Amino acid sequence: MNSFFVRRYVIAGIFITITILLVAKLFYIQVIDDHYSKYATKNVLRPIKQYPARGPILDRNHKVLVQNEIFYDITVIPKQVKPFDTLEFCKLLHIDKTEFDTRFSKAVRYGLNQSSIFEKQLSAQAYASIQERLSEFQGFFATPRYLRTYPDSVAAQFLGYISEVNDRDIKNSGGHYQPGDYIGATGVEKAYEDVLRGTVGVKNVIVNSHNEQMGSYENGVYDTAARSGERLISSLDIRIQKLGEQLMQNKVGSIVAIEPSTGEILAFVSSPTYDPNLMVGRERGNNVAKMYKNPYDPLLIRPIQAYYPPGSSFKPLNALIALQSGLITPQTSYYCTGAYKGGLPHCDEPHGQSDLSRAIAVSCNTYFSSVFEKLMNVNGPRNIDTTFVEWRKKVSKFSFGERLGIDLPNEGKGFMPTAALYNKTFGVNHWRSNSILSLAIGQGELEATPLQMANIECTIANHGFYYRPHLIKAIGDKKITKDEYTQRNYVGIDGQYFEPVIDGMQQVVENGTARSSKIPGIIMCGKTGTAQNPHGKNHSIFVAFAPRENPKIAIAVIVENGGQGAWYAAPIASYIVEKYLTDTIRRPMDEFNRIKDADLMPDPTYYYSQIKKAAARDSIRKARADSLRKKPAVKSVSNKKNNNNKIAYSPSPVKRRYNE
């Protein structure tokens, strides 16, 4: 003991101070600051996603186009597996012992306490036979899952398909999607993704340090239920959609039918098509690979992505423009000797003297060449470029060369040549009306999608206006009443000028080029087209609307390499119109079967090489147009698709080559 005895209190004070500091800090961490408690909670909470059922899509009469069927995944938690009769289990799942062993060891590697999928997507029937016995095999569980099924296997390109989200989708969604989620990739599935997908629910489960589930958190107070996606009622009529796909089998082409009084799309056939059920389930990858190898490209959405020269089906348009400009009257007539001014284009036979209606009925090239020449020379032959620009503006009103704004992704524009293109091709002031005479009969550079062709028929049926084509009538119980769908789009032709043209179109079916496709008891007004094209045989085209009074359906049918419009396109259109209006086909079935069974598939290697050539030529044209207008060029030539229509996860080197 010495004089420094009191210093023990200083030392004690130091220790007490340090202890108080530590206790205060502990108090702060454990009571005031919730950072660590949150961190700890996160450690034990597993939010488990509850997937909603995706909304079903129905046709206009509420028949199911796509719905969700329940499937079962068999999952396994290796830790909980008790010895069992392996062979019996294999027999139930239809797998062999080695397969069982590899799958089981994979599950063990994934985690002893983790639930991993052992068998994917068992159908309800397959599951029924396992369900009763599953309790014998401890550690194996069944997880229900909803998958898209298509009861009638129709309208594949219209409905589109869903696929797993890719990294870009996840990044762009703002946290809405996570890896493994599904997203609409094309068609209606993509366009209406927001309403179809529903809301994902969350179930909070407590886990211990070995990731074993210990029950629900706070009795599920914070859980949210999954909300199913909305039911979509599409405008499609499954009866004529099915009929159309049936008639188009073994043919390349497209059918689009629209209700003129609303703009609702009734049929949307793209041929060759595929069974949409192939895009679902365990074989999906193989099926998609097969489709990519198909030279006819079933994934192409031909109604909005394939471009065709409209051919003679374009003639009524020129007639209407000439009538509106006062250049011709319905009585104006020309004499046809079989060829225009003794040269091209020529007619199949000399038509003699015809007025407008007869010229349409017999599809007289001479007559329409004369009309076109008149149209182009209205300001004198030297001013053709300004005249052409005006004419082009009038044609564009019919949505040629422009997107109609249908509620589907990746709609094509078609191709409408510009004066600049001709200035480039022929030289400024070096072209005259006969340089571009093929435009008179819908040939030349002009190209349109089947949707655009059908929309023109709507416009004619409505005497001068159309509604924007769309394909969804209602979301859930709410009818879609968007302004853009109820607003009339006028094309700048007065209603009175339509009558003589419609007269001619009625004659086409009554006694003109398509007289063999007359439907008993129904007045159909149509126009055949026979489009010359660089891919070999002519395309068979028919556009029509029916009935004449109070039209219910407007339709465009394109059968690639089908020859004349009257051979295939017109009868197909007539069967669909008849079916739609009367719900039966009363005409002889052997003729129906002849059309249905006809095999018009072009030679695959030839078709494929032509597509490649077209793409090459197209890129030249594109480059040229780019240099002219500094704007992404209009695409052209028959077959074409957007890159972003590709399935993200399944690259196809073969296909990519002619995909520009």
Partner 1 sequence: MNNQRSLFFNVDWISVSIFLVLCTIGWFNIHSAAFVPGHPNVLDIDTDYGKQLIYIMIAVVVAIFILLLESRFLTTLAPAFYVVTTLLLILVLVHGRNVGGNQAWISLGGGFRLQPSEFAKFSTCLLLARYLSGTNIKVTELKSFLTAAGIIIFPMLLIMLQPDTGSTLVFSALILVLYREGLSPYFLILEGLFITLFVLTLKLESHWYVIGALVIIGAIILLIFKRKTSRLKRKK
Task: Provide, rounded to whole angstroms, the least separation between the CB of residue 29 and partner 1.
Answer: 16
Which of 37/516 has CB closer to partner 1?
Answer: 37
Element holding 262 (H helix, E strand): none
48 lines the binding site for partner 1 (CB under 8 A): no
User: What is the rounded CA–CA span in Å between residue 351 and residue 365?
Assistant: 9
Task: Provide, rounded to whole angstroms, the least separation between the CB of residue 3 and partner 1.
Answer: 8
Question: Which single residue is written with the structure tokens 């009935």?
Answer: 547
Which of 4/39 has CB closer to partner 1?
Answer: 4
Task: Provide, rounded to whole angstroms, the least separation between the CB of residue 4 and partner 1.
Answer: 5
14 lines the binding site for partner 1 (CB under 8 A): yes
Which of 18/128 has CB closer to partner 1?
Answer: 18
Residue 477 CA neighbour count, 13 Å, CB half: 0
Q: Residue 534: is the preceding peptide bond cis (ω within 30°)?
A: no
Total number of residues that touch partner 1 (CB under 8 A): 10
Which of 7/97 has CB closer to partner 1?
Answer: 7
Considering only 9-17, 198-206, 313-321, 642-650, which stretch makes contact with partner 1 by CB under 8 A?
Answer: 9-17
Which of 81/95 has CB closer to partner 1?
Answer: 81
Task: Provide, rounded to whole angstroms, the least separation between the CB of residue 11 and partner 1.
Answer: 5
User: What is the rounded CA–CA span in Å between residue 54 and residue 63?
Assistant: 17
Nearest C-alpha neighbor of 107 from the set 98, 117, 99: 117
Which of 24/389 has CB closer to partner 1?
Answer: 24
29 lines the binding site for partner 1 (CB under 8 A): no
Which of 40/344 has CB closer to partner 1?
Answer: 40
Task: Provide, rounded to whole angstroms, the least separation between the CB of residue 17 and partner 1.
Answer: 10
Site string for partner 1, 160-199 (x = CB under 8 A): ----------------------------------------
* Nearest-10 crossing angle of helices 384-396, 365-376: 120
Q: Residue 272: is the preceding peptide bond cis (ω within 30°)?
A: yes
Considering only 3-11, 269-277, 434-442, 522-530, which stretch makes contact with partner 1 by CB under 8 A?
Answer: 3-11
Pick one of 7, 341, 430, 488: the residue that binds partner 1 (CB under 8 A): 7
656 lines the binding site for partner 1 (CB under 8 A): no
Report the C-alpha dihedral over residues 335, 338, 342, 346, rounded to 10 degrees: 120
Strand order in the sheet with 201-207: 45-50, 201-207, 213-216
Pick one of 38, 42, 109, 210: the residue that binds partner 1 (CB under 8 A): 210
Whether the CA torsion 493, 495, 499, 500 is positive or negative: it is: negative
39 lines the binding site for partner 1 (CB under 8 A): no
Considering only 6-14, 87-95, 236-244, 418-426, which stretch makes contact with partner 1 by CB under 8 A?
Answer: 6-14
Which of 210/629 has CB closer to partner 1?
Answer: 210
Backbone angles phi, psi at 407, to 5 degrees: -80, 50
550 lines the binding site for partner 1 (CB under 8 A): no
Which of 2/584 has CB closer to partner 1?
Answer: 2
Task: Provide, rounded to whole angstroms, the least separation between the CB of residue 12 and partner 1.
Answer: 10
Q: Residue 199: left if φ>0, alpha if ψ -120 to 50, beta else—which one?
A: beta
Pick one of 2, 98, 481, 550: the residue that binds partner 1 (CB under 8 A): 2
Which of 10/221 has CB closer to partner 1?
Answer: 10
Element holding 278 (H helix, E strand): none
Q: Residue 444: left if φ>0, alpha if ψ -120 to 50, beta else—which one?
A: left
Task: Write down the H helix ranges in 490-638.
Answer: 498-510, 569-582, 589-597, 604-629
4 lines the binding site for partner 1 (CB under 8 A): yes
620 lines the binding site for partner 1 (CB under 8 A): no
Task: Provide, rounded to whole angstroms, the least separation between the CB of residue 7 and partner 1.
Answer: 5
Considering only 1-9, 338-346, 408-416, 500-508, which stretch makes contact with partner 1 by CB under 8 A?
Answer: 1-9
Nearest C-alpha neighbor of 643 from the set 622, 626, 658, 631: 658
Site for partner 1 in 448-507 (CB under 8 A): none
Give the single-character DSSP code of 299. T
Residues in the chain: 660
User: What is the rounded CA–CA span in Å between residue 376 and residue 374?
Assistant: 5
- Contact indicator for 403, 607 with CB cutoff of 8 Å: no
Task: Provide, rounded to whole angstroms, the least separation between the CB of residue 160 and partner 1.
Answer: 49
Task: Provide, rounded to whole angstroms, the least separation between the CB of residue 8 and partner 1.
Answer: 6
Nearest C-alpha neighbor of 265 from the set 295, 238, 235: 235
Considering only 10-18, 50-58, 276-284, 363-371, which stretch makes contact with partner 1 by CB under 8 A?
Answer: 10-18
Q: Which residues of 230-248 are buried (b: 16+ CB within 10 A; e: fewer)?
A: bbbbbbbbbbbbbbbbebb
594 lines the binding site for partner 1 (CB under 8 A): no
Considering only 7-15, 64-72, 143-151, 386-394, which stretch makes contact with partner 1 by CB under 8 A?
Answer: 7-15
- Which 3 state secondary structure label does DSSP give 336? strand
Nearest C-alpha neighbor of 640 from the set 622, 621, 618, 624: 618
- Contact indicator for 65, 101 with CB cutoff of 8 Å: no
11 lines the binding site for partner 1 (CB under 8 A): yes
Nearest C-alpha neighbor of 456 from the set 507, 388, 394, 515: 394
Task: Provide, rounded to whole angstroms, the least separation between the CB of residue 111 and partner 1.
Answer: 14
Which of 14/344 has CB closer to partner 1?
Answer: 14
Pick one of 1, 10, 31, 620: the residue that binds partner 1 (CB under 8 A): 10
209 lines the binding site for partner 1 (CB under 8 A): yes
Which of 3/481 has CB closer to partner 1?
Answer: 3
Residue ranges that bind partner 1, judged by CB under 8 A: 2-4, 7-8, 10-11, 14, 209-210
